[in-house]
Structure formats: structure tokens, C-alpha cells
Amino acid sequence: MFEVITDLRQISAHNRKLTTRLKKAFIHGETREITYPSGHMSGKVFFEHDSGFRVRGWSPSKKWPDKHMNFLVMGEPSSTDWLEITVQLNFPAEEYNRNLAGAFVKDEDGEVFLAHRGKLTKGMGALKKNLVLERFPNCITAKDGNQTNQLILIAGLGSPDMIDRLFEFAVEARHVATELGALKLANTGKRTPSERNGKQPPATVADKQTQRAYKLGAYFEEFSGESWGDNYTISGNRVVEHGAIVNALAVQLQTTGTLQKSQAIDLAVVGEYHVDLYEVKTSANTTNIYTGLGQLILHGEAIADELRFPVRRYLVLPELPPERHAPHIAGKAEIKVITYQKLGTGYQFDGI
């Protein structure tokens, strides 16, 4: 049984331990412009290295003194580009507050872990917490003061691989936010007054972020380290393997075209006359199937418009979907299913 730490002095002490670990790992500091859903600000960012593409970074913002704030980013050091926050891990400082996403929890042995409440945003809107939580298999139930709540378990605060696990979660959280944001937009179907009058409304910050999410760039591995193919276990909870599966698929497909991806796209292989689009899910439940199909259709249309190439779509699952879904997947959507299974430290794909 887990318990959320609610004592403010203990929370501050654990945040200092987290800060100490991050300061030792992130040694290159520079002032950058950081974007968040409602605007942007200048702040100190510490990167792991002084050069590179999608280098991991951390910004311990002090903009709001009632919170211990930790912004996790990925970007290019020494660039003038604005940095979009990958995920926030903030803790209460002056008054206990469950509205902040970060939490420290302890198990029955007293070991302290980093956790997240599943509070994510996309654009200017908050995403439904229950939809976020159901996409993470490493959720726990914890006593939270006079309540019992679900949280996403990230890593032990004293674990040697804590930073790697923290950024694995950050990238997966941004992937989930992009996925749910696109689904929310597709399900809304609303038109603004400008659209109803036949006028094109001006682009908002959220619009620009969405455009960047769909823009393809060079493929990069989502996570790094020696433990790619492992099944991580924290107090019996499996940590997300999504990135490892995508990387294994990329290795297998690297000779068939140019590998690319974006915030919204798991993997795109650009050939001479077409683009192959792959969406990976770690479960073949109904929600993941519906979401995966929606992503492939929505993202595929955006890429087809951008590149002027026909798009072939592939849904990558750990098992075949129920038979009742097969006609709809292979019908008008023209989506092919690829299945995978774990073999040793890698993955085998069937249907490529």
C-alpha cells in the first residue's frame, strides 16, 4: 500500500533531494524562453550537455513561490528557439494542494517514490484525468490524506536510474497529451463564429503548438540507456515500454526509407512515392484501438497535405484486435495491423 506524503516539510526535503540529483546531472545552464499553455517566460534551463538535438533539460522555476516547480524540457542548447515544456512536476510549498501534478509517495517500507497525478494539458485545455491514467500501466492506488487516489508511479527517489525513468515518463506523458488532445478536438466538432462566417481565424499559441506537433523531423530515440528491452518493475508495477517498441520497429524499417517522427507521430517512414505511418499501442483494448485508428486517420491526412504523398497507415499492437473490429480497420480506413511480441531483449514484428 502506498501513501502520499502530505507534510510540507517532508515535501520540501524530498524536492531538495530531487534538485540535488538533477543539478549533478544537468550541468550546462543558459537562459531560455520557455512556453507553457497560457504564455511564455524567460527562465534558467540546465541541460545535460552543451550541444546536441533533443538534449534533456530541467528548469527549477521560482516564478510561483507557493510551489516547488520543476519543468522538464528537451531541446537544442545554445539555440534561440523557444522551449516547450515536456511535462511539469510541481509540488506544494505553502499549503497542501492536490491540484499540482507532482507527488511524493512512500511504500509500506518507507521508500520514497516520485509520482504524478495524471494532470496533463494540451493547448489551453486540461485533459480528463481518468483518460490519462488509463494509458499508464504503472498506476498505483495511494492513501492521500483523507482520500484514496490513483497516481502514476515514476521512479524511486533514490534509485540510480531515477532521471532516466523521469524522462521516460515525461516523453510518454507528452505523447499521451498529444494523442488525447487530437481525440478531444476530433470529437468536439465545433466551429468558431469566424469559421461559420467563412473567415479564417488568426492562429493562436495552441494552434502553433499543434502545427509543430504534426511537423515531421528526423527520427530520434525517445529514451536512452542500456536497459531498453527490460521490463522495469517498481514495487510490482510495470513501467511503459512504448519507446522501446517504437525504437525496435525503427531499427527494422530503417532500410525501407527515411525515418522521421514528431510530437504527434510515433514513426513515419518516407519513401520515394509514399509515406508509411506507424502508431504503436502497448495494449489492444478497445480504447487504444479507437484512439490509434483516430490518430492514424487524423495525422495521415495532415501529413498527406504537407508532403503531397499518399499515406499508408499501420496500427502496431501486442495482439490482433477483436474480430468484430477487423472489417472497420481494413475497410474505408485502409489500416493494416502489425503485431509484436517480446523476444529476449528485443521485439519481433509480424505483418510488416
Question: Is-contact 82 66, C-beta < 8 A?
Answer: no
The rounded distance, in Å, linking the Cα atoms of 89 and 126 is 15
Domain ranges of the chain: 2-173, 213-350
What pLDDT score was predicted for residue 231?
33
Q: What is the 3-state secondary structure (H, E, C) of 212-255?
A: HHHCCEECCCCCCCCCCCCCCEECCEECCCHHHHHHHHHHHHCC
Residue 40 neighbours by CB under 8 Å, 6+ apart = 33, 34, 82
The gap from C-alpha 246 to its chain's centroid, in whole angstroms, comes to: 13
Per-residue HEC secondary structure of the chain comes to: CEEECCCHHHHHHHHHHHHHHHHHHCCEEEEEEEEECCEEEEEEEEECCCCCCCEEEEECCCCCCCEECCEEEEECCCCCCCEEEEEECCEECCCCCCCCCEEEEECCCCCEEEEECCCCEECCEECCHHHHHCCCCCEEEEEECCEEEEEEEEEECCCCCHHHHHHHHHHHHHHHHHHHHHHHHHHHCCCCHHHHCCCCCCCCHHHHHHHHHHCCEECCCCCCCCCCCCCCEECCEECCCHHHHHHHHHHHHCCCCEEEECCCCCEEEECCCCEEEEEECCCCCHHHHHHHHHHHHHHHHHHHHHHCCCEEEEEEECCCCCHHHHHHHHCCCCEEEEEEEEECCEEEEECC
- Per-residue model confidence (pLDDT) at position 192: 40
Q: How far is CA 274 from the centre of its chain?
A: 27
Residue 124: the pLDDT is: 55
Tens place of pLDDT per residue across the chain (352 aa): 799 999 999 999 999 999 999 999 999 999 999 987 667 889 999 999 999 888 999 999 888 889 999 999 999 999 999 998 989 999 999 999 999 999 999 998 899 999 999 999 876 578 889 888 888 878 889 999 999 999 999 989 998 889 988 998 888 888 888 778 777 766 655 444 444 455 444 444 334 444 444 456 565 555 433 332 333 333 333 334 777 888 899 999 988 888 887 656 788 888 878 889 999 988 887 767 877 887 788 777 777 777 777 889 999 999 998 887 777 777 766 889 999 998 887 899 998 8
Instruction: Tell me which fold the domain 213-350 belongs to.
Output: Trna Endonuclease; Chain: A, domain 1 (3.40.1350)
Beta bridge partners of 336: 314
**Mind listing the pLDDT tens digit for each residue in 88-126?**
999 999 999 999 999 999 998 899 999 999 999 876 578
pTM for the model? 0.58
Within a 13 Å sphere around the CA of 137, how many CA atoms are in the beta-carbon half? Answer: 17
Q: What is the pLDDT of residues 40-75, one digit of tens each?
A: 889 999 999 999 888 999 999 888 889 999 999 999
